[in-house]
Structure 1
Amino acid sequence: MPNFFTLMNLLAGFFSLIQTAAGNLEAAAWLVVLAAFFDLLDGLMARLVGVSGEFGVELDSLSDIVSFGVAPSFLLYMFGLNQLGPMWGGLLASLPALFGAVRLAKFNSMAEAGAKSTEFTGLPIPAQAGTVVVFILTFIGRPWFDVLARPQLSVLITLVVGLSALMVAPISFPALPQPNRANLRTYRYRFLLFLLAMLLGVIFQEIGLLVAAVIYLLWGLGRALLWAVRVATDTEPLADADADPGVTP
């Protein structure tokens, strides 16, 4: 059953590519959101039935690189980066797919080593893809946002480069633990923020989801900045770098 939802994740990503090629960018973006929903379901189902193994991990990563790497990259290219030409526009658009592959390989190697944590080292690839698609859904078709104009295209380029770099950066982003009674008590603020993000999406749709994505990014970046300031102003060297919650060595 978990592998079925993983394959539905891959199928949604494949159909997103088809819709992007056909010029239906809004439909393509929502299909990436659907892929993320299936990705969430396969993880929940795996926990419920107590199934885990190397096969599922590898299948999940292969699906993720299509749905959250290649599909958003192609979507970004057709959304505006193609204005830079097939060479430079294609190279910039490929960054989420390339850095996403590195991110997934790193995550798999940590999983094989038995490393489990309530933090992600680097921005998770679904979070990167989610930020990309809600950005596109927010501004596509807005008459006041011309992606062909230089300022808006600069924002798009900065978004692509920044999200790609964050996927491989040694910065920790919070993960949502398994929703059991103990975790609900220990990480209640994380679950509350997750529910708040869902509520923003229901009420304000793509704008609410974009706000939630920005808050998530600022959470990780803010903790990393606070850690850097603390290190720079501390006269005593840190005894244990692993104790830092914001940056993972």
Structure 2
Amino acid sequence: MSEKRVRSPIIRARRSGRTGRQRQRARAAVPSFFTLMNLLAGFFSIIQTSNGNLEAAAWLVVLGAFFDLFDGIMARLAGVSSEFGVELDSLSDVVSFGVAPSFLLYEFGLNQLGPMWGALLASLPALFGAVRLAKFNTLASSGEKSSEFIGLPIPAQAGTVVVFILTFYDAQWFNVLARPQISVLITLVLVLSALMVSPVRFPALPQPSPSNLREYRGRFLLFGLALVLGIVFQEVGLLISALVYLAIGLGKTLGWVYRVATQDPDAEAVPVEAEP
């Protein structure tokens, strides 16, 4: 009897430890599920593009963006964060926001440049997006976090591409004018690819909380306005929102460069990147 009394607390402690680890693994599996759904949406987008369904392919990238948003939310709610989750998220983002939009751009119009030059140009968002994610993973593990991204986030690049395609997919005047269409697409690809690996600072939307809502009120208002524009004006509203976001990042960085050039002591150093 005495031996059972001594052993039973030890057994209960071991069982409790196993239960705690199982719960931890279960909580960690939830955000990973959303991450894999993001990857799956990107894969289906590539399939739809290969079948000629460009509009469906573009909306699947948008669906992947929602899954990408929710995996971060679920990770914060569950209080779990791991190197495995970070790497899985980056791999999924390369497919959904790099390869899928690149293939979309090729089939939407860059194939008119020929199989070699068109494919090379279309590959830039995927290539620069992979570099951007590798750079983020390196910087995120060192230094203090800030409220801004360094370089255009790859989901923002993909979002700009797909809303552009959705806006002009049925615009007959845009499809008829082959030369202007190619010029616009080339400019879009080059600008977005360069911005992903540039030092241009773009505002990040912090996790909603009473303090963040007060401190970053303007950002939350702009985010709400972008949602309203998307609901009311659909693709055109989302395209306007994407262009405004790009303009904000470029404007802030140009202002910072001007202050540094004029030796303004209030001009701060470029911060380490925020979490996506």
TM bin (shorter chain): over 0.9
> How much does 1:230 deviate?
3.3
Match of 2:104 in 1: 75
Kept after mapping to 2: 8 A contact 1:176/1:190: yes
Rounded to whole Å, the distance in 2 between the matches of 1:185 and 1:174 is 16
Match of 1:94 in 2: 123
Consecutive unaligned residues of structure 2, counting only runs of 5 or more, are 1-29, 272-276
> How much does 1:118 deviate?
0.8
Of 145, 152, 167, which aligns to 2:181? 152
Kept after mapping to 1: 8 A contact 2:97/2:154: yes
Match of 2:234 in 1: 205
Kept after mapping to 1: 8 A contact 2:55/2:169: yes
Rounded to whole Å, the distance in 1 between the matches of 2:143 and 2:258 is 32
> Tell me, what secondary structure is at the counterpart of 2:80?
coil
Moved more, 223-232 or 173-182: 223-232
Of 119, 123, 147, which aligns to 1:118? 147
Kept after mapping to 2: 8 A contact 1:80/1:148: no
> How much does 1:113 deviate?
1.9
Rounded to whole Å, the distance in 1 between the matches of 2:181 and 2:36 is 36
> How much does 1:224 deviate?
1.5
**AA at the equivalent of 1:150:** R
Kept after mapping to 1: 8 A contact 2:48/2:57: yes
Match of 1:175 in 2: 204
> How much does 1:78 deviate?
0.3
**AA at the equivalent of 1:166:** L
Consecutive unaligned residues of structure 1, counting only runs of 5 or more, are none
Kept after mapping to 2: 8 A contact 1:147/1:153: no
Larger radius of gyration: 2
Asked if 1:14 corresponds to 2:43, the answer is yes
Q: TM-score, normalised by structure 1?
A: 0.93
Kept after mapping to 1: 8 A contact 2:109/2:181: no
**AA at the equivalent of 2:96:** S
> Tell me, what secondary structure is at the counterpart of 1:226?
helix
Structural mapping, 1:36-75, within 5 Å: 36-75=65-104
Rounded to whole Å, the distance in 2 between the matches of 1:148 and 1:35 is 31
**AA at the equivalent of 2:175:** D
